[in-house]
Structure 1
Amino acid sequence: MKRKSIYLIRHGETDLNRKGIVQGSGVDSPLNEWGKAQAQAFFNAYQHIPFDKIYTSNLIRTHQTVNSFLKLGIPHESYSGLNEISWGNREGKEPNTGDSQYYLDLVSAWQSGDIEASAEGGESPLDVRNRQLPVIETILSRPHERNILIAMHGRAMRVLLTILMKQPLIDMDQYHHSNLCLYKLEYSYESKTFNLEVANDITHLLSIDIPQTA
């Protein structure tokens, strides 16, 4: 029986993550020092997995997250289809009370079924789903890639997981995530279904030494 193991991770922390600033697909921010430590901790825990291919978004924070694996010579492909949702006009701006309510209202609309509601100047979950579908098709068309690593982004991961698990987009918020969390899925080519084995796992981050403060 042909199977594919998919290790799906969110990128490590950036300074904008720490400040609570929305990045989306329009802000290409790098990992901060903590994010780099998270990436190294994940590598230390999973470098024994014989990955056949690494897939990332086009954004630098995902590339940096898997950099240690890339140094091993593992083949890599990046796709804009895996980019974070575009949050539009408010990306990269310091958060304020008005923005917080705006995002709450937008997510509430999605949870109520309005998956075509988009951020001002940005994308809707349906837009993200539509650009992810060709990437998923490409990945599944390669059964010889038995173990793959995918690095992407929080909201985009939620959309992707609903696609893989054949759920409606209104269920996407059931998939919680944190920086450098892991979801592990097994795909059966016989049944053409995914089995979710690990969800939002961060146990690999327990090995990070917390810097001492003066």
Structure 2
Amino acid sequence: MQQIYLLRHGQTDFNVQGIVQGSGIDSDLNARGRRQAELFWERYKDVPFDRVYTSALKRTQQSVQRFLALGLPHEATAALNEISWGTREGSRISPEEDAEYAHVLAEWLAGNEHAHLPGGESPAQVAARQRPFIEALQRQPAEGIVLVCMHGRALRVLLCQLLGYPLRCMDGFEHHNLGLYKLHRIGARYTIRNFLNVSHLN
């Protein structure tokens, strides 16, 4: 049985300010994000991880830096980058404030996985770039323990793919800065053992 610890990055100032980051904003963790990373380390430092995967963006690597400092094998891959929000990156938007953004979210919920904001990616495009990572994950030893740190929307897409859900179901997977999903894989079948565990942050 392979164990996958699937983690969202820690808090950034952009998170606090409600500014969209996406794949085009390479922000750092703020003080709270660094504290969240330390709390995660304290809870899980004794887990014998075999490998660490992060996105190519530094906020994910900073979130698991204590594990990387142990010399664990590490791969930073753009396959795990956040969805691109296109021209909206770097701006404050919410469904209440931006009708176009709300429309795209509604399209996703309705099953249109090819909808996207201007200049941005669709969930289908994110899923396509994640597939080589999923294949690499399945090539890891069947009894291994893997730590994966990535981003909120991309994490939702990945969970849909691993668990066999259509992408329209992705909003059913909540996320939180330094929140953890734990999955088990036997053969090609994944199951969730912990759904958004944040107990280490208390």
TM-score bracket for this pair, using the shorter chain length:
over 0.9
CA distance in 2: counterparts of 1:147 and 1:171, whole angstroms: 27
CA distance in 2: counterparts of 1:76 and 1:99, whole angstroms: 39
Deviation sequence 1:102-134 (CA, Å, 0-9, x none): 222111110001110111101000000000001
Residue equivalent to 1:196: 192
Q: CA deviation at 1:101?
A: 2.7
Residue ranges of structure 1 left out of the alignment (5+ in a row): 207-214
Is the CA contact (8 Å cut-off) linking 2:94 and 2:102 kept in structure 1? no
Q: CA deviation at 1:93?
A: 1.7
- State TM-score, norm by structure 2: 0.96
Question: Which SS does the other structure have where 1:28 is aligned?
Answer: coil
**Structure-to-structure mapping, 1:47-86, within 5 angstroms:** 47-86=45-84
Question: Which SS does the other structure have where 2:102 is aligned?
Answer: helix
CA distance in 2: counterparts of 1:96 and 1:180, whole angstroms: 22
Is the CA contact (8 Å cut-off) linking 1:83 and 1:153 kept in structure 2? yes
Structure 1 runs (4+) greater than 4 angstroms displaced: 96-99
CA RMSD of aligned residues (A): 1.4
CA distance in 1: counterparts of 2:48 and 2:117, whole angstroms: 39
Residue equivalent to 1:17: 15
Is the alpha carbon distance of 1:162 and 1:16 closer, same or farther for their aligned partners in structure 2, counting shifts above 3 Å? same
- State TM-score, norm by structure 1: 0.91
Residue equivalent to 2:167: 169
Is the CA contact (8 Å cut-off) linking 1:52 and 1:145 kept in structure 2? no
Report how many aligned residue pairs link the two structures: 202
Same amino acid, percent of matched pairs: 47
Residue equivalent to 1:211: none
Letter in 1 for 2:29: L
> Is the aligned partner of 1:146 residue 2:144?
yes
Is the CA contact (8 Å cut-off) linking 1:53 and 1:145 kept in structure 2? no
